[in-house]
Amino acid sequence: MPLTEFGCLPTVIGSMPQTDPAEACALVARYLKDIPAWPQLPNRSFLENMYAQYSQGFPGVVIEGNRIYVDRARGDVAESLVQLYTAYEKHDTDKYPISENYAQGLHTFLALKGMSPLAVKGQITGPVTWGLTVTDEEGRAIIYDDSFQDIVAMFLGLKAEWQERTLRQISKNTIIFVDEPYMTAFGSVAVPFDKVRVIKLLNEVFSHIRGIKGVHCCGNTDWPVLLQTNTQILSFDAYSYAGSLSLYPAEVEAFLARKGCIAWGIVPNEVEALAGETVSSLKDRLEAAMAPFSRNGMGFGQLLGQALLTPCCGLAGLPDGEAVATALELLTGLSVAIRKRYL
């Protein structure tokens, strides 16, 4: 079968609340045997939040306490830019690793034994979100500097390429999600770019990914913009925003026709919501989320076949590993129930 026909197998977005990487990885290995993903651990260190985690080596980057910014006046910026352009041309990812201090969850995950998954998943912050969050020395988002806008995408592309190559130690089949939470503000003053620029920036990162490329947005956005990129997986919060995607049946149908996959974020990531759900209730919710597409001519079997199941977003907001286990039990239980009933 084509690898994007996952048939509702489960995976996760990435972040978890633990500070002990071994504990987080043990849950991944226990529940996500087909498509494990390395855990981001933002509670362990500021370096593991989604903005600092991929910043190592960016020209002029400074991390002070819980602040990250780019100082363009630093004396080594020009030299660092030359190195970046040279590495970009040569695909020299060794100069832009994600070291253990920045991703202990990743390095612990790489040392796990006994895994033989169908595919392995990683993730990286997208250029729109990273560029709007990381500022210059004057507090202005670095993406507003025209000379740095493309550099952000090139740099994150090299980081994604290094990560993917490293994850091939576990499986030759790789999936890399580009996480773009700031796309929920697309079209507002917070994201003052037209769709052409957004697509160009995302496609630059995707061009570095040899395996399967995915994009994740955890709220409502202009979905046709993301569907027009070179992504092969669209990951969204189907628990709270299923109706937003159903407004674009033609675009979704075209995406599926080119063998795209939808990652249905159907398991909530809040304690209260988790306590109110069962596998049965989530199955009903998923079927209801898919129903509008079926009514618009897409086959239910195709929707299920070209689907992943995930939590609605990262799990770092949960209080502890026990809550994570609850979410993963619901996720894997739902996958088994759907596959047994329909596939």
**Whether 252 contacts 298, CB under 8 Å:** yes
Does 324 score more than 70 pLDDT?
yes
Residue 139 lies in a domain: no
Q: What is the pLDDT of residue 343?
A: 87
3-state secondary structure (DSSP) of residue 235: strand
Residue 274 lies in a domain: yes
Categorise residue 101: left if φ over 0, alpha if ψ from -120 to 50, beta otherwise: alpha
Q: What is the pLDDT of residue 148?
A: 92
Does 212 score more than 90 pLDDT?
yes
* Closest to 93 in 3D by CA, of 102, 84, 101: 84
Q: What is the pLDDT of residue 296?
A: 83
Average pLDDT over residues 116-143: 95
The CATH number covering residue 225 comes to 3.20.20.210
Residue 70 lies in a domain: no
Average pLDDT over residues 36-42: 98
Residue 84 lies in a domain: no
Q: What is the pLDDT of residue 186?
A: 86
Tell me which long-range contacts 318-324 makes (C-beta under 8 A, separation of at least 24): 318/16, 318/17, 318/269, 318/270, 318/271, 319/17, 319/271, 320/17, 320/18, 321/16, 321/17, 321/18, 321/23, 321/24, 321/27, 323/17, 323/271, 323/274, 324/16, 324/17, 324/18, 324/24, 324/27
Residue 177 lies in a domain: yes
Range of the domain at 20: 9-40+102-134+162-342
Q: What is the pLDDT of residue 2?
A: 53
Residue 240 lies in a domain: yes
- β-partners of residue 308 are 9, 263
Q: Which helix (H) or strand (E) holds 329?
A: helix 321-342
Per-residue confidence at 1, pLDDT binned at 50, 70, 90?
very low
Q: What pLDDT, in 10s, does the model give residues 25-37?
A: 999 999 999 999 9
Total tally of structural domains belonging to the chain: 1
| Cα distance between residue 137 and residue 250, in whole Å | 44
Q: What is the percent of the chain where pLDDT is above 90?
A: 92
Distances (CA, A) of 319 to 96, 146, 284, 315, 327: 33, 40, 27, 9, 12
Q: What is the pLDDT of residue 193?
A: 80
Residue 252 lies in a domain: yes
3-state secondary structure (DSSP) of residue 164: helix
Residue 51 lies in a domain: no
Q: Please count the other Cβ atoms lying within 10 Å of the Cβ belonging to residue 203.
A: 16
